[in-house]
Amino acid sequence: MTSIERTAYPQFKKLTSARMLHLSFTPTADEVTWATKLTNSLEALFAVVLALKCHQKMARFPSAGEVPDEVVDHVRPCAVTWTRRTSNPTTGRGAPPSGTASRSAPAWA
């Protein structure tokens, strides 16, 4: 019988290994840069990156209650780390999202 993770309605495994977290849920710099252009707060950035990584793994957007704490705890520091790496060292701020030049700086800056 096929495991539930490989069906048309995939679900998260009960226990996710550290290797699987790293391979499947670590956001790349391009993904975080893309999400930064869409958002203007750290909370929104985290939500977009988490949704993106879950969609890539499961081919659907899971509800918030479906995402295991291990995945959430893995993605959160990754997104923040990439945000800090791409920020402007002179001002400490990342580039503002495209098309928002008239808005104030992002909330996490």
Which CA distances in Å does 35 have to 5, 27, 32?
27, 10, 5
- Structure-token match 């969609």, residue found: 55
3 state SS for 74-99: HHHHHHHHHHHHCCCCCCCCCCCCCC
pLDDT, tens digit, for every residue of 62-88? 888 888 888 899 988 887 776 666 554
Short-list 68, 67, 69, 75, CA closest to 25: 75
pLDDT, tens digit, for every residue of 26-69? 999 899 899 999 998 888 999 999 999 999 988 889 888 888 88
The pLDDT value recorded for residue 89 is 43
Domain map (residue ranges) of the chain:
13-85
